Amino acid sequence: MPTYRAEREAIAKKSPDFGGEFTLGDRSEHGYPSDVSYAGAPQHPRPPVPGLPKRVRKVGAPIAVLIVLGTVTGLIVILLTAVYPVGTSIGFVLSSVTMTIVVLAYLWLDRWEPEPPRLLVLAFLWGTSVAIVISTILQLTLEAAINPGATETVSPFSIVLGAPLTEEAAKGLFLLLMMTGRRRNELNSMTDCLIYAGLVGAGFAWLEDILYIGGGESVSDSLATAALRLIMAPFAHSLFTTMFGIGVYFALQQRNTAFKAGYILLGYLGAVIMHGLWNGSSLLSVEAYFLTYLFWMVPIFALVIVLGVQSRRREQRVVAAKLPGMVAAGLVTPNEATWLASIRNRKAAIGAATRFGGRPAGKAVKDFAAQVVELAFVRDRIDRGFGDERVFALQQEEAYAVYAARAAAPALQSLAGYRGASGPPNPSYGQTPR
């Protein structure tokens, strides 16, 4: 396995036309590592941060974990099919179609700073397997304790409080897992928290809908259940878990452990309250159910949509604010900065690269743009006062990854004179890279 230094030297050798002096550990006046210049051949780099010899690796989900969770999900579906063959088949088809739309909506929201695909799959599978299993076990245990001897009916307490408490905890556990270790580096914005929360909720809803639709006494009952759950509230579970995700986002902005725990608890309670009101309204009357839907669920859902769109716009503003420093540090060119600051211009530049060199060229330019965004968010984290040695080491890695992405995208040379539709007015963009 190549060493850290050997890997960096190999990258430099592969792209002599973008070579420059690597001075790892030093930073320019703009805060970025002085990684790249146009003044000569690469020199032997120094270790980026003393005491951190290992590189900060990209985050993903092990294939084995995805296989195990997928297997658990498949076994649950097979069991349901064996018990309710017709209803489960109907539920599987209808729920799959509906949740595909839900997932595509979250992927649309994820366009600016795309999350690692394996982590997105892991979030969905967590909802279909781990969250389902944990919440089911807890609910059965709770129901047996408060309603012993009952086999046909579920107590109102379990519906209104037991299910929300257990299900939101089981789903939210994934977000707590995302706050640990290298996974924390993927939670850069409110948008990221909304996406992971939404996908966990979508996975949970997918399997729960199959269960409820499959349990209908007749085909007409199954179709009626499908109409209530899939047409009226396809985003319900995602919306509940979103409250937890919002709490996690604000917790990540805190340094005090007590404040972090407080925000997480508030997010969890918000999810439980929303879920409990939704479940409780169905026990009162049909009128209460529809009134809750119209005057509670729909307005909050609309607010979450606005929050998601505004958060993505904030992501673009963060990147636009960091691009002048990248230009001054020689990481991107002034012309590149004009199309890296917006989705529309970035899409147009990728289209131009695709027309020039085909799909591989377009993908390489897309990867370069995504890596620039990653670096911008790490820099923003430092600028907001959340930098430590490991975050500075991550910045070094992301800066080198921008360099490597450029080396893998020769089509960028064809875009040397390309400018976005409306370049930023900041005078820093006119500087010549060192």
Cβ contact 186:59 at 8 Å: yes
Per-residue model confidence (pLDDT) at position 194: 96
- Closest-CA residue to 173 (of 162, 188, 183): 183
Per-residue model confidence (pLDDT) at position 9: 45
Q: Where are the domains of the chain?
A: 4-55+316-430, 63-284
Separation CA 343–CA 108 (nearest Å) = 12
Per-residue model confidence (pLDDT) at position 20: 33
Per-residue model confidence (pLDDT) at position 32: 58
State the first-to-last Cα distance of the chain, in angstroms, to the nearest integer.
33
Q: At 97, which amino acid appears? A: V
Which residues of the chain fall below pLDDT 50?
1-26, 29, 34-57, 423-434
Residue keyed to tokens 């897992």: 177
pTM (predicted TM-score): 0.82
Per-residue model confidence (pLDDT) at position 210: 96
Separation CA 124–CA 171 (nearest Å) = 10
| DSSP string of 130-187, one letter each residue | IHHHHHHHHHHHHHHHHSTT--S---HHIIIIIHHHHHHHHHHHHHHHHTSGGGGGG-
Q: CB-based contacts of 227: which residues, under 8 Å, 6+ apart?
A: none
